[in-house]
């Protein structure tokens, strides 16, 4: 399956890479990797700098539905759902959506519309039975696992999915300069590759679906 950008409707994110580079310490990285309050709702050097609902995921949900030709009879899983904003937008469009995230803080502070539909889980060990979902989405999530866990997460996506209506977006870079910027900025990614290396990994793990890269 080919490259596909399903996040084109999201607004551009302004990243002050040089500022983070000089502020980033091993302590900050360690705290960020706990995916707690500091990461989601603390200051910018720890992560999002305030992860709040603003409706930006609504057009993304519509694009996902249109591309995969989903309807109210389809069940969708968002892996790495954070506070469940994409899950909410899918629900609002009539899709039977669920989400999982490794962060207990994010799940406890999820959007009120998704309470009971989002759960704490590691992407490399999902609790759902085989072929539970018509589509599985994972946006900027599985790269936060070490390589062995990342491989397991890709295989888990295929296990819980019914087919090839799957979408993975991960951190990447296309040249040495982009890789340097990425390393200056990154806080939580444990696994990161050039696009061709990601594609090799996807194929090796038996992934069937679409992919995209997050490139600074």
For helices 147-160 and 195-204, give the axis angle rounded to 10 degrees. Answer: 60
In-domain check, residue 2: no
Cα distance between the two ends of the chain: 24
Q: What is the mean pLDDT of the chain?
A: 95
In-domain check, residue 173: yes
In-domain check, residue 11: no
Structural domain tally of the chain? 1
Q: Is 111 exposed, middle or buried (0-12, 13-18, 19+ CB in 10 A)?
A: buried
In-domain check, residue 189: yes
Residue 139 φ then ψ, to 5°? -110, 115
pLDDT at 1: 56
C-alpha–C-alpha distance, residues 51 and 42, integer Å: 9
Residue 56 maps to which CATH number?
Answer: 3.40.50.150
pLDDT at 23: 83
Helix (H) or strand (E) holding 19: helix 17-23
The parent domain of residue 28 ranges over 17-214
Helix (H/G/I), strand (E/B), else coil: 179 = helix
What's the full length of the chain, in residues?
A: 216
pLDDT higher than 60, residue 138 = yes
Q: Which of 159, 157, 184 has its CA nearest to residue 173?
A: 184
Determine the average pLDDT of the residues in 81-109.
98
Binned at pLDDT 50, 70 and 90, residue 184 comes out as very high
Pairing of the two strands 135-139 and 166-171 = parallel
pLDDT higher than 60, residue 185 = yes
What tokens appear for 69 in the block?
């030709």
Determine the average pLDDT of the residues in 128-152.
98
pLDDT at 11: 87
pLDDT at 21: 73
Determine the average pLDDT of the residues in 146-173.
98
Q: Cβ distance 61 to 70 under 8 Å?
A: no
In-domain check, residue 8: no
Helix (H/G/I), strand (E/B), else coil: 213 = strand
What tokens appear for 58 in the block?
């609504």
In-domain check, residue 12: no
The pTM assigned to this predicted structure is 0.95
């Amino acid at each position: 399956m080919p490259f596909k950008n399903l996040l084109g409707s999201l607004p551009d994110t302004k990243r002050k890479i040089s500022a983070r580079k000089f502020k980033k310490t091993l302590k900050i990285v360690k705290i960020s990797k706990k995916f707690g309050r500091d990461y989601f709702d603390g200051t910018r050097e720890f992560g999002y700098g305030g992860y709040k609902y603003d409706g930006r995921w609504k057009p993304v949900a519509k694009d996902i539905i249109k591309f995969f030709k989903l309807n109210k009879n389809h069940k969708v899983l968002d892996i790495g759902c954070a506070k469940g904003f994409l899950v909410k937008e899918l629900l609002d469009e009539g899709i039977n959506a669920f989400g999982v995230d490794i962060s207990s803080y994010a799940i406890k502070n999820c959007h009120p519309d998704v309470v009971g539909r989002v759960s704490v889980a590691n992407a490399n060990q999902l609790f759902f039975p085989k072929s539970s979902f018509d589509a599985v989405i994972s946006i900027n999530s599985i790269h936060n696992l070490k390589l062995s866990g990342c491989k397991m997460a890709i295989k888990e996506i295929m296990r819980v999915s019914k087919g090839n209506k799957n979408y993975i977006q991960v951190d990447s870079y296309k040249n040495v300069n982009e890789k340097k910027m990425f390393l200056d900025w990154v806080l939580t990614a444990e696994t990161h590759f050039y696009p061709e290396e990601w594609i090799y990994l996807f194929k090796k793990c038996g992934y069937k679906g679409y992919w995209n890269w997050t490139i600074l």
